[in-house]
Structure 1
Amino acid sequence: MFWRFIGGQAIFEIGRRLKWVKENDLAHGEYVKWLESIKLDRSTANKFIKVSDNLPNVETFLHSGVNALYEIATMPPDERDQPQQLDSGKVKKPDEMAVIPVRQ
């Protein structure tokens, strides 16, 4: 599914718009039908909304995919900024782990 490859900026915007539609544009019970009509599964929609609600839309996350962003968004807030030791021995914060360097 191509949703896994959408960059962070798009994920934040899609999540923000999905939440708006869910809360403002549809009658109760119509959201799931609407998601089906646009061929977006509920789980992915929920991930996008969770990311847009819980993470700042900042440069650090712009090149991260939905799965990495969702993992960070679902961490307890007090753990999001805690450094973690990687298998390589390096110590990084979760937002640093999600960054893919951009080649120029």
Structure 2
Amino acid sequence: MKHVKENDLAHGEFGKWLESVEIDRSVAAKFIKIYDELKEEDVSTYTHFGLNALHLIATLPADERDKPHETASGEQKTPDEMTVKELRGHQSL
């Protein structure tokens, strides 16, 4: 998606392209954010995650992605061990 947006379309055409392939703009934005933030990391760590969890991990500061964090229940977990609900509780990291 990012390649298409930046290389294959004229300015302002990305939205029309997304409509033609039936992808919502917010979903496309999440995929691009995930690609931008996680492309250098070991993506095999995240293969079992859905879009929302990946997006929450991608929006964490890079230095916070591997560190243990305390969940609301008091457990220590790294982001790749957390549920979407637990990740949402740590969006302010």
Could you tell me which runs of 5 or more consecutive residues in structure 1 were left unpaired when the two chains were aligned: 1-17, 99-104
Residue 27 in structure 1 maps to residue 13 in structure 2:
no
Please, which moves more after superposition, 71-80 or 25-34?
71-80
**How many residue pairs are counted as aligned between the two chains?**
81
The Cα offsets for residues 11-37 of structure 1, whole Å up to 9 and x where unpaired, read as: xxxxxxx00100110011100010011
Match 2:53 to one of 62, 65, 68: 68
Query: How far is 1:43 from its partner?
Result: 0.7
Query: Which residue in 2 is equivalent to 1:52?
Result: 35
Could you tell me which runs of 5 or more consecutive residues in structure 2 were left unpaired when the two chains were aligned: 84-93
- Larger relative contact order, structure 1 or 2 (CA cutoff 8 Å, min sep 6): 1
| CA RMSD, 1 decimal | 1.4
Query: How far is 1:52 from its partner?
Result: 1.1
Residues of 1 paired with 2:29 and 2:37: CA distance?
Answer: 12
Query: Which residue in 1 is equivalent to 2:66?
Result: 81
Residues of 2 paired with 1:23 and 1:60: CA distance?
Answer: 28
Residues of 1 paired with 2:73 and 2:60: CA distance?
Answer: 22
Query: How far is 1:57 from its partner?
Result: 4.8
1:48 alignment partner AA: F
TM-score normalised according to structure 1 size: 0.70
Query: How far is 1:95 from its partner?
Result: 1.8
Q: Percent identity?
A: 60
